[in-house]
């Protein structure tokens, strides 16, 4: 009981029926090779790898954790063998350029495939996952020599990458970082300092690790304007592209942490390590945002992954476990216990998980489509429109999907009762692993400030209007639909209020900018709930249309409608609470200090 099963049916519903990925891929040159047959074959093969190779290692990774021996990290049993299979099957190269050894398929397809790996074993998936961000950073900002040296090995998966930002005295406030980069006569730099919380900072899966590191030059300005970006490899590459001498960068210790034990979270010490400048000096933070934005969407996926695991395990368990009686049976002594799923509150928890899981998947895949358009479309207006949508939706995905993923993990554990609190079923591991997702790659508050402050108020609402127009057009088109008409009416009102609420906060902020900080979290959650209201209305529309056409899979489509109804009746009203909290203002957030 409880073995991971890739949710191919729901994934294909979102891809084929909700978002019409086949037409999407056919609309740009690079996507035309991603035919429906190829996409299905890749998804089925990825499901097999996730279910049979990665998922069985998840509990092992949690139990064993990583070990540090002579400044070298050893990963849990089976991780290294699984990674070798991962490379052999060509998964790292899926969406990269053929000139670097990639297969040239769309970026979104790689991310969709990766959902299954993330769900099966998040700790393992983090090792290759960070390489993608390192690749994107080098492709966009590296010089020709750096690309030729590092991209082929990173694309193949033979080498992996990391991002090294945080220091012990500065969490997300990177303007305070102290790591130094001392220029050397032959053109490279000597990196001196320590970084903490470095995921996959050291391990035994790949032959080399390419660290992307933020550091300061001796004459750099103070604050974020004085940060540069460097490549610091674990082993210095030779002229032929092979690994050479060991660089002076070491794992000083492994963090003792709440969850994700199978992934090494390292303190990395740079002891006069050789580094190579990426791009121009003092522009490192802007370059790093290429990496950080990818990592934020990757962390959004983590929220979805923990939600999917909570759903699968809790749904299976509550159909099997018998406990309690039917409240309508007056004489309880002779009545048989009922299965948990028949209890209304258990069903409430399951439907909450299901609503978040499937709603977040739909939103996530929608953002992946926008990423494809930014990367591969030729029309400047289409690229700009999709870019604005990504600017708005990336912080929403990162914050809302991890908050609801954590809620789902907790609800899944609750469905098990006391059995969820022990290790046997993996529910407490799912909660522990999920907890960090709302913290790293920018906490929920940081994402909320980014959304409300930078993405909406600083653009005078233009970024938000780019998306609210899409929802408005949806409402106008489907306002007479027999099944979703009442939901469309609610969505239309919320969509209008969304922009008005942002404007009201902006007016308050003219007097005191801290009003933005006081309102940001609630505004973020409201934004996420509205996004899911949109996708759930659309999914219910499609499901009802399929049923009216006589589709035989009545259970699947009726469940879509039932879950949409539950979302609108039981979850969407949370907006009222957040709205009242948001409008209460800064003055209500006070604590008298001694």
pLDDT attached to residue 338: 86
Please enumerate in sequence order all residues whose Cβ is within 8 A of that of 429, keeping only pairs 6 or more positions apart, or say none: 58, 59, 62, 259, 423
Is pTM beyond 0.85? Reply is yes
Instruction: Name the band, by pLDDT with cuts 50, 70 and 90, for residue 288.
Output: confident
Please enumerate in sequence order all residues whose Cβ is within 8 A of that of 203, keeping only pairs 6 or more positions apart, or say none: 66, 73, 75, 127, 160, 209, 264
116-172 residue pLDDT tens: 999 999 999 999 998 988 998 999 999 999 999 999 999 999 999 999 999 988 767
Q: What tokens were used for 464?
A: 């938000």
pLDDT attached to residue 294: 73
Whether the Cβ atoms of residue 171 and residue 237 lie closer than 8 Å to each other = no
Other CB atoms within 10 A of residue 438 CB: 23
β-pair type (189-199, 208-215)? unpaired
Backbone phi and psi for residue 77, each to the nearest 5 degrees, phi listed first: -55, 135
Please enumerate in sequence order all residues whose Cβ is within 8 A of that of 543, keeping only pairs 6 or more positions apart, or say none: 556, 557, 558, 560, 561, 564
Backbone phi and psi for residue 174, each to the nearest 5 degrees, phi listed first: -70, -15
pLDDT attached to residue 451: 97
126-142 residue pLDDT tens: 999 989 889 989 999 99
What is the average pLDDT score of the chain? 94
Distance CA 130, CA 108 (A): 16
Radius of gyration of the chain (CA): 24
Q: Is the pLDDT of residue 334 over 70?
A: no
Burial class of residue 99 (count of CB atoms within 10 Å of its CB; 0-12, 13-18, 19+): exposed
pLDDT attached to residue 333: 61
**Lowest-pLDDT range, 295-309, 328-342, 370-384, 465-479?**
328-342
Q: Give catalytic residues, as residue numbers.
A: 441
Which residues partner with 254 through β-bridges? 266
pLDDT attached to residue 286: 86
pLDDT attached to residue 279: 95
Nearest to 528 by CA among 415, 348, 417, 394: 394
CA 20 to chain centre: 22
Nearest to 311 by CA among 164, 434, 245, 410: 410
Q: Which residues of 516-552 are buried (b: 16+ CB within 10 A; e: fewer)?
A: bbbbbbbbbbbbbbbbbbbbbbbbbbbbbebbeeeee
505-534 residue pLDDT tens: 999 999 999 999 999 999 999 999 999 999
pLDDT attached to residue 330: 61
Nearest to 302 by CA among 129, 107, 139: 129
Q: Vertex 409, ends 423 and 294: CA angle to 5°?
A: 115
**Lowest-pLDDT range, 277-291, 337-351, 548-562, 567-581?**
277-291
Q: Is the pLDDT of residue 332 over 90?
A: no
């Amino acid at each position: 009981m409880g073995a991971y099963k890739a949710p191919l049916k729901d994934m294909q519903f979102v891809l084929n029926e909700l978002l019409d990925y086949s037409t999407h891929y056919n609309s740009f040159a690079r996507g035309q090779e991603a035919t429906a047959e190829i996409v299905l074959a890749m998804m089925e093969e990825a499901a097999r790898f996730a279910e049979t190779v990665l998922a069985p290692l998840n509990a092992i990774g949690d139990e064993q954790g990583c070990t540090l021996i002579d400044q070298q990290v050893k990963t849990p049993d089976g991780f290294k063998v699984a990674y070798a299979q991962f490379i052999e099957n060509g998964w790292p190269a899926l969406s990269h350029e053929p000139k670097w050894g990639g297969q040239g398929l769309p970026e979104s397809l790689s991310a969709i495939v990766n959902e299954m790996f993330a769900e099966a074993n998040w700790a393992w998936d983090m090792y290759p996952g960070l390489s993608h961000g390192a690749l994107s950073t080098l492709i966009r900002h590296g010089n020709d020599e750096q690309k030729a040296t590092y991209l082929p090995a990173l694309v193949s998966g033979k080498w992996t990458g990391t991002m090294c930002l945080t220091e012990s005295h500065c969490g997300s406030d990177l303007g305070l970082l102290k790591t130094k980069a001392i220029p050397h006569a032959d053109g490279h730099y000597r990196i001196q300092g320590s970084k903490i919380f470095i995921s996959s900072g050291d391990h035994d899966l790949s032959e080399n690790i390419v660290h992307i590191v933020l550091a300061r030059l001796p004459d750099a300005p103070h604050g974020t304007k004085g940060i540069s970006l460097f490549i610091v490899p674990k082993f210095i590459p030779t002229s032929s592209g092979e690994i050479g001498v060991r660089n002076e960068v070491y794992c000083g210790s492994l963090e003792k942490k709440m969850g994700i034990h199978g992934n090494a979270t390292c303190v990395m010490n740079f002891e006069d390590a050789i580094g190579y400048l990426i791009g121009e000096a003092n522009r490192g933070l802007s370059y790093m945002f290429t990496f950080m934005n990818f990592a934020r969407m990757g962390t959004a996926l983590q929220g979805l992954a923990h939600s999917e695991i909570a759903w699968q395990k809790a749904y299976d368990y509550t159909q099997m476990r018998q406990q309690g009686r039917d409240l309508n049976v007056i004489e309880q002594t002779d009545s048989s216990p009922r299965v948990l799923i028949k209890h209304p509150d258990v069903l409430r928890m399951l439907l909450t998980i299901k609503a978040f899981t499937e709603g977040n998947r739909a939103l996530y895949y929608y953002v992946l489509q926008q990423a494809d358009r930014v990367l591969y479309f030729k029309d400047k207006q289409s690229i700009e429109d999709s870019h604005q949508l990504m600017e708005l939706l990336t912080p929403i995905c990162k914050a809302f999907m991890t908050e609801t993923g954590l809620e789902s993990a907790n609800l899944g554990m609750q469905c098990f009762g006391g059995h969820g609190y022990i290790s046997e079923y993996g529910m407490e591991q799912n909660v522990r692993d999920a907890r960090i997702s709302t913290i790293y790659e920018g906490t929920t508050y940081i994402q909320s400030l980014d959304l409300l402050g930078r993405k909406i108020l600083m653009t005078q609402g233009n970024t938000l209007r780019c998306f609210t127009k899409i929802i408005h057009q949806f409402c106008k088109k489907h306002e007479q639909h027999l099944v979703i008409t009442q939901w469309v009416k609610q969505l239309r009102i919320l969509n209008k209020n969304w922009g008005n609420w942002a404007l009201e906060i902006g007016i308050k902020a003219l007097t005191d900018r801290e009003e933005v900080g006081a309102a940001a979290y609630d505004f973020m959650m409201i934004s996420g709930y509205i996004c899911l209201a949109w996708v759930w209305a659309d999914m219910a529309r499609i499901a009802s249309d399929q049923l009216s056409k006589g589709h035989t899979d009545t259970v699947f489509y009726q469940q879509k409608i039932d879950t949409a109804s539950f979302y609108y009746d039981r979850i969407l009203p949370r907006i009222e609470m957040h709205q009242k909290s948001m409008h209460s203002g800064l003055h209500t957030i006070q604590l008298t200090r001694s």
